[in-house]
Structure 1
Amino acid sequence: MPSSHYGRSSRNRKAVSAKIYDDGVELPNVTAVAVDLTNWDETKKAIETFGAIDHVVNNAGILIPQTFMEITKDVASLHFDVNVIASINVGAKGATPAVAMYAATKIALEMLTKSVSVELSPHNIRVNCIAPNGVNAPMLKFSHPSLTTTVEKAYKGTLKEKIMSLNYSFAGKRVLITGGAGGLGRALVQRFHDDSAVVLALDEDSDAIEQLQKELPNVTAVTVDVADWNETKKAIEAFGAVDHVVNNAAILIPQYFMEITKEMADLHFNVNALACINVVQTAATGMMERGSGGSIVNITSIESTGATAGFSMYSSAKIALEMITKSMSVELGPHNIRANCVSPNGIDGDGMVKISDPRITAAVEKLFQRNTIKRLIDPNEVADLVMFLLSPLSAMITGETVVIDGGFMAHFS
């Protein structure tokens, strides 16, 4: 039986020593030492006395709950000392050469940001992180020559000195929007139309398309089922040049897992994921031929991050679309075509979800209660994010899924 060794981190050494003694009685083959892992010298001595070690589990941790506004420097330092820094001494390594502590503290900052957002949102205070890659700034100047070479190689051709303003107009740009006649799609059509873009809309609802054309006669709108690849391709090719694509068309027919039919499974994947491939292939062909580049936003859902009873096919198709989008970004990137996802939570007045099963309705309502900002998302708030990701303002964002969820994902429950 392999031997095992462990230490515990605590300010109460007597309690730890007593526990070590008890464990030694219960498991005499375990070599157990009482040591405070924040004391690097003592920890190192203890580990060295163990001799050869084949595997390491950094399990020691400390949790002293405090609200964000009550956190003291001592408690903050203690958590980092025990939960992050001690693992370096024991044997953990960072994922990138020489920046282990930077990476560890930055990921810790991301979780801290989630905690702060939960606690401050009742006061209408929002908190978010931005995680950039190489930024053309003095911080990227390293004294270590091998690290400088590694970073320069990783960032080669990505650093830009051009500074953008926060304003951009889509005037004259040709924007294709699927599912454009209702819900979020209709709001997107309106926003791009109001910004003087040339809007090209697809939707399978002929009555809604007719109404859209009456309200916005400058919009080119066609009735087509995006699950029909041939007809969709013909419609897009007839539009001519396309600069930007929003894959918004989607279907959600809630069913419990044991009730799902093959037809229903196929329908969800065909509309919510596979159709987007055809749409982008068709539009991107023209972008590549013209050498003009372009940008794509695929609308996914917060449902791709976890399971909700009755939504299995919808959630599965949406997470598939997120991976498809990453692949798009990798393969189309050399042609200056970017692809990202926008993942919203409940949108006010979306109209896509028709739920008759009261069990599923109750589950969805319970989910929305997780939002730290207690309201549904306005369609124009999603449109703001879509327009940003399509514009040159986000020129270095590609292959990402950007969540807009009112703080839903910041909560455990």
Structure 2
Amino acid sequence: MRLDHPANSTIVHRVQVKKSTASAPRAMELNFTGKRALVTGAGKGIGREIAVLLSSFGAEVVALGRTQADLDTLSEEIGCETATVDVSDVQCTTRVAESLGAIDLLVNNAGISRPQAFLETRVEEFDETMSVNVRAVMIVSQVVARGMIERGTGGAIVNISSQASLVAIKDHAAYCASKGALDQLTKVMALELGSQGIRVNCINPTVTLTPMAAMAWGDPAKSGPMLDKIPLGRFANPLDVAYAAAYLLSDAAAMIHGVSLPVDGGYLIS
């Protein structure tokens, strides 16, 4: 069948849009009441801030960390469940993750940095960095995702990556490599777990003012040039990252999946 239209005619396409059956909230609310949230590396810095923030939004927090004293003070502050684990230990990490029961939300935050020039990077430090920053994420996420799938509940996972996955940073060969790998792992997780109702995203902060960052960036001669590249003129605070994580874990981000979200004050546009 041939359809002829006059040269100056207007063709109108009418499309029926099916309205969503989901109720749309009038204002965005972050409410994790009834949810269990597992945060690794929760004893200090970004992980601790995330744990405290999620608890303030009603989540039942399970905090993992290497130092029991840090976890004890966190538990006193927010009343969370804790477990001490070195996530570079495969068997211990697997055993602890499997012992935690149902987890609805997961934040893979545990990470290390061993600044070394490329030619001075030692195999031992490279392997340790990869084991904590990448392998542990895979192990914990596998355990948690299997539980989500078995329960049929779905869930959300946020991996804390870095701007070091997106740009080269001098003296950070192992760290940059590990965070680049983490971004790719996040994408594969999102691709394979999305059909099970499990959302996976990662956050890529700039230098964030934690104890680890203070060690790496405490020298003004080093921090000055980095600050000059950040249009907002400051490094991130742990709370900046924590709010981004909370949003990505929430139902407000229900259609955000497989993204790498820079929290960098505009570093990547400079």
* 2:224 partner letter: E
* Equivalent residues of 2:162, 2:203 under 8 A apart: yes
In structure 1, what is the equivalent of residue 179 of structure 2?
A: 318
How far off its partner does 1:398 sit?
Answer: 0.7
Instruction: Report matched runs for 1:11-410 at 5 Å.
Output: 143=13, 160=20, 162=22, 163-164=24-25, 165-216=27-78, 218-348=79-209, 350-353=210-213, 354-355=215-216, 362-410=221-269
* Equivalent residues of 1:302, 1:345 under 8 A apart: yes
Q: Percent identity?
A: 35
How far off its partner does 1:375 sit?
Answer: 1.7
Change (3 A) 1:345 1:357: closer
In structure 2, what is the equivalent of residue 47 of structure 1?
A: none
**Deviations, residues 19-44 of structure 1 (Å, cap 9, x unaligned):** xxxxxxxxxxxxxxxxxxxxxxxxxx
Distance in 2 (CA, whole Å) between partners of 1:356 and 1:321 is 22
Give the SS at the match of 1:188. helix
Unaligned runs of 5+ in 2: 1-11
In structure 1, what is the equivalent of residue 6 of structure 2?
A: none
Give the SS at the match of 2:211. coil
In structure 2, what is the equivalent of residue 18 of structure 1?
A: none
How far off its partner does 1:407 sit?
Answer: 1.1
Give the SS at the match of 1:298. strand
Distance in 2 (CA, whole Å) between partners of 1:305 and 1:222 is 32
Number of paired residues?
254
Distance in 1 (CA, whole Å) between partners of 2:99 and 2:268 is 41
Distance in 2 (CA, whole Å) between partners of 1:387 and 1:190 is 11
* Equivalent residues of 1:325, 1:399 under 8 A apart: yes
How far off its partner does 1:356 sit?
Answer: 8.7
* 1:327 partner letter: V
Distance in 2 (CA, whole Å) between partners of 1:379 and 1:255 is 24
* Equivalent residues of 1:179, 1:203 under 8 A apart: yes
Q: Rg: which structure is higher? A: 1
**What's the RMSD between the two structures over aligned residues?**
2.2
Give the SS at the match of 1:325. helix
How far off its partner does 1:227 sit?
Answer: 1.4
Distance in 2 (CA, whole Å) between partners of 1:363 and 1:258 is 19
**Deviations, residues 93-115 of structure 1 (Å, cap 9, x unaligned):** xxxxxxxxxxxxxxxxxxxxxxx
* 1:268 partner letter: T
Distance in 2 (CA, whole Å) between partners of 1:249 and 1:181 is 9
Change (3 A) 1:269 1:286: same
More deviation in 230-239 or 251-260? 230-239
Distance in 1 (CA, whole Å) between partners of 2:157 and 2:229 is 30
* 2:76 partner letter: K
Q: Which has the higher contact order (CA 8 A, sep 6+)?
A: 2
Give the SS at the match of 1:352. helix
**Deviations, residues 310-340 of structure 1 (Å, cap 9, x unaligned):** 1111011001100000000011111100100
How far off its partner does 1:160 sit?
Answer: 4.6
